[in-house]
Copies of this chain bind each other. A is one copy, B any other.
Amino acid sequence: MAVTAEEILATYEELSEIEAQFDDVETDIIRHQYNLSKDLYVKREKIVSKIEHFWPLVFEQAPMDIDEFIQPSDSQIILGALKSIDVKRFEIDTPVEGGDPRSVSIRFEFNENEYFENKVLEKKFWWRHGKDGFVGYVSEPVDIKWKAGKDLTNGLLSLAKAAWEEEQTASKKEGKEKKELTPKQKELKEKLDAEAATGAESFFCFFGFIGERVSAEENIEALKKEAEDRKKRQAGEKVEDDDEEMKEDEDDEDWEDEEDLDIFPQGDTIAMAIADDLWPNALKYFTQAQESDDLSDDEDDEDEEGDEEEEDGDKPSKKHKACAHGCKH
Kindly state the separation between the CA atoms of A121 and B323 in the bound complex, as whole angstroms.
36
Q: Mark A34-68, 1 if CB is under 8 A from B, else 0.
A: 00110010011001101110000000000000000
Verify A329–B40 contact, CB threshold 8 A: no
One of A133-141, A172-180, A195-203 at the interface: A133-141
By secondary structure, the A interface counts as helix
Q: Are B52 and A1 in contact (CB under 8 A)?
A: yes
Q: What is the distance, in angstroms, from A157's C-beta to the closest C-beta of chain B?
A: 22
Size of chain A's interface in residues, with CB distance under 8 A? 57
Whether A19 lies near B283 (C-beta < 8 A) is yes
CA distance A241 to B329 in the complex (A): 13
Q: A25-B40, A36-B29 are in contact. Are A241 and B18 (CB under 8 A)?
A: no
Partner of A37, one of B15, B25, B283: B25
B327→A11 contact, CB < 8 A = no
How many copies of this chain are found per oligomer? 2
Interface residues in A304-328 by Cβ distance below 8 A to B read 315-327
- Residue A235 interfacial (CB < 8 Å): no
Tell me the complex Cα distance, A244–B316, Å.
23
Q: Are A14 and B47 in contact (CB under 8 A)?
A: yes
* A272 to B319 Cα, complex, angstroms: 14
CB pair A18 B43 closer than 8 Å: yes
1/0 per residue A271-287: CB within 8 Å of B?
Answer: 01000000010010000
A79-106 residues with Cβ-Cβ distance < 8 A to B are none
Shortest CB-to-CB span from A187 to chain B, Å, is 24
A21 to B44, CA, bound (A): 10
Give chain B residues whose Cβ lies under 8 Å from the Cβ of A168: none
Residues of B within 8 A of A317 (CB): 136-137, 268-269, 272
A25-B40, A36-B28, A318-B136 in contact; A19/B324 too (CB < 8 A)? yes
Q: A36-B25, A247-B329 are in contact. Are A19 and B133 (CB under 8 A)?
A: no
Asked if residues A322 and B40 are in contact (CB atoms below 8 Å), the reply is: no
A37 to B21, CA, bound (A): 9
Contact between B44 and A325, CB atoms less than 8 A apart: no
| 15 A–B contacts from the bound complex (CB under 8 Å) | A12-B324, A15-B47, A15-B48, A18-B283, A19-B283, A19-B321, A21-B43, A22-B40, A29-B36, A32-B32, A133-B321, A134-B320, A136-B317, A269-B317, A272-B316
Interface of A toward B, CB cutoff 8 Å: 1, 3, 7, 11-12, 14-16, 18-19, 21-22, 25, 28-29, 32-33, 36-37, 40, 43-44, 47-48, 50-52, 132-137, 226, 241, 243-244, 247, 268-269, 272, 280, 283, 315-327, 329
